Chains A and B, each alone.
Chain A
Amino acid sequence: GENVEQHPSTLSVQEGDSAVIKCTYSDSASNYFPWYKQELGKRPQLIIDIRSNVGEKKDQRIAVTLNKTAKHFSLHITETQPEDSAVYFCAAYRPGSARQLTFGSGTQLTVLP
């Protein structure tokens, strides 16, 4: 089955700096890659996603890049703000997979004021 590895597990950055979180997946048939942000005590919230037919997608300060050959995708947050502090989860979906979304282990991002 699909396996998703996520790094780093914790990340601290100064306010205004950029943050990058990386994920690798094992199954080349996976074709949909969402990123979720989960603040303490709240639901996972989709912040951006990418499908395998594009290499990059951007939404204001957030961008995701996908390298299908290397089977990895990354979340980039620019001009970080304290409210970006949360746990971020990447995920991968393989068509026909009984397990639906396979999640990475999560990254605790802390933005220091």
Chain B
Amino acid sequence: DTEVTQTPKHLVMGMTNKKSLKCEQHMGHRAMYWYKQKAKKPPELMFVYSYEKLSINESVPSRFSPECPNSSLLNLHLHALQPEDSALYLCASSGSGGGETQYFGPGTRLLVL
């Protein structure tokens, strides 16, 4: 099963709201990723978790807060976002944190009003 799932599919939030995005994989992968993608642009790496530890934070603003509760789950907590944060947020996972195929989830389409 090469599937990564994400919830919710769509999210609309105001700039003062707090919300969370969720990602789950059951492929036994030990690396999980959060990407941000604008229309027709490549995915832009935000965070990497390797063996449930944060290994990469690509200078993402603190209003985005990742969390990896266990090896199958990845959350992205959102707080005080700006309209320019509106995008497709993709989760991905891979076998060993690099050099292995990354499988993407369907994404959460976020609109910040």
**Which residues from chain A sit less than 8 Å from chain B, CB to CB?**
31-32, 34, 36, 42-46, 49, 87, 89, 93, 95-101, 103-106, 108
- What's the interface size class on B, roughly? 20 to 34
Encode B70-101 as 1/0 by CB contact (under 8 A) with A.
Answer: 00000000000000000000100000011101
A44-B43, A100-B98 known; 7 new pairs, CB 8 Å cut-off, are A32-B99, A43-B107, A46-B102, A49-B101, A99-B58, A104-B42, A108-B40
Main DSSP-derived SS at the B contact region = loop
Contacts of A103 in B (CB 8 A): 42-43
Q: Once the chains bind, are A105 and B41 in contact (CB under 8 Å)?
A: yes
How far is it, in angstroms, between the C-alpha of A32 and the C-alpha of B99 when the chains are bound? Answer: 6
Contacts of A49 in B (CB 8 A): 101
Given contacts A89-B42, A106-B40, is CB(A100)–CB(B104) below 8 Å? no
The residues in B between 34 and 54 inclusive whose CB is less than 8 angstroms from any CB of A are 40-43, 45, 48
Contacts of B55 in A (CB 8 A): 98
Q: List 16 A-B contacts (CB under 8 A).
A: A34-B102, A43-B104, A43-B106, A46-B101, A46-B103, A87-B40, A93-B98, A95-B99, A97-B98, A98-B56, A99-B58, A100-B33, A100-B102, A101-B45, A103-B42, A105-B42
